[in-house]
Amino acid sequence: MPRLIVNADDFGMAPGVNRAILELHAAEVLTSATMMARAAATEEAVKMALAMPTLGVGCHVVLVNGAPTSDPARISSLIDSNTGALYPTIGEFLKRLYSGRIRPSQIEAEAAAQIASLQSFGLRLTHVDTHKHLHMFPGVLGPVLRAARAAGIRAIRNPFEPLWSINATVNAPDTRRAEVLLLRRLERRFRRIVAREGFVTTDGSVGVLATGTLDLSVVHALISSMPDGTFEFVSHPGYRDEALARANTRLLESREIERNALVAIKGYAGLELVSFAGLHPTAQQPVT
């Protein structure tokens, strides 16, 4: 029987995102969400999460397109000097990472600060992932794993989409399909590093290729094609509101379509819905 973690990213980005997460969890569809430590509606998201102990909550580590949690002076290689914020694009971040201008110790420090910020509210974090899936790159993965381990977290998203899921996603743009297929070359190294560091993960993520085009037909195709194993359904549900419009995200109209489509998951028999807590039952204990 397939096991599925239905996860919503961007918890805390906007009240409309928080509302959709609350509703989908109440509908017994959404099992997990990853929270941004410093976003427009993080405080509201924390209160919701504490009131929903059955919802698995992870840290959505933001290294691009956002505000830092650390003192910018301590993570200067991650900061755009023109804005005082994190670099706005993946391209700029990766260019600096692979030219050696981003310091791994500062990635670790910022990831640790975001995790600690959420844990300070009393949240027991089940796992970590990264905004824009940056931890698929080894230069980011290592520092994020070190920060997570120090905080007692031993589960991480596998951001790579299996071939069966890619083949079942028929309405995605060709350019995005090519990108997702190309990035799968990093998966073998990702798995080696995760196993070596003693972390657990899933057999892959579904819905990554469908980001922005996820509707009811795609949900049906993905669930109907799912083999045995443990997978994460990566989603971005929400309601459009002023805060979301200001969040500099390309996912505006598609969030409401995703929210409506995800409800259908509950109707499928032979599917066990779990959270990341089910992958690693050991209680969180910070490493000393």
Segment 246-267, tens digit of pLDDT: 656 655 567 888 999 999 999 8
284 in a structural domain: no
CB-CB contact of 114 with 38 (8 Å): yes
pLDDT > 60? residue 281: no
187 in a structural domain: yes
- Confidence band, pLDDT 50/70/90 cuts, at residue 280: low
- Confidence band, pLDDT 50/70/90 cuts, at residue 171: confident
Identify the CATH number of the domain in which residue 173 sits.
Answer: 3.20.20.370
287 in a structural domain: no
Per DSSP, 158 falls in state: -
285 in a structural domain: no
288 in a structural domain: no
User: 10 Å Cβ neighbour count for 12?
Assistant: 26
Per the DSSP assignment, residues forming a β-bridge with 61 are: 130
239 in a structural domain: yes
φ/ψ of residue 128, rounded to 5? -130, 155
- Residue-wise pLDDT for 176-230, tens only, equals 999 999 999 999 999 999 999 999 999 999 999 999 889 999 999 999 999 999 9
**Once rounded to an integer, what is the mean pLDDT over residues 75-89?**
96
Helices (H), 27-162: 42-51, 90-98, 104-119, 138-150
**Once rounded to an integer, what is the mean pLDDT over residues 88-94?**
96
101 in a structural domain: yes
| CA dist., res. 64 & res. 79, Å (int) | 9
Range of the domain at 16: 2-278
Number of domains the chain contains: 1
User: Which amino acid, 110?
Assistant: E
Map residue 123 onto helix, strand or coil: coil
∠ CA 90-250-147, nearest 5°, is: 45
For tokens 């109440």, what's the residue? 26
What pTM was computed for the model? 0.93
- Please report, rounded to a whole number, the percentage of residues in the chain having pLDDT higher than 70: 93
Please report the DSSP string for 82-115 in residue order. Answer: TTSSB-S-HHHHHHHHHTT-S-HHHHHHHHHHHH
User: Which amino acid, 46?
Assistant: V
pLDDT > 60? residue 287: no
CB-CB contact of 204 with 158 (8 Å): yes
283 in a structural domain: no
Retrieve residue 182's tokens. Answer: 């190309």
Across the chain, mean pLDDT equals: 93
Per the DSSP assignment, residues forming a β-bridge with 166 are: none
33: buried, middle or exposed (CB in 10 Å: 19+, 13-18, 0-12)? Answer: buried
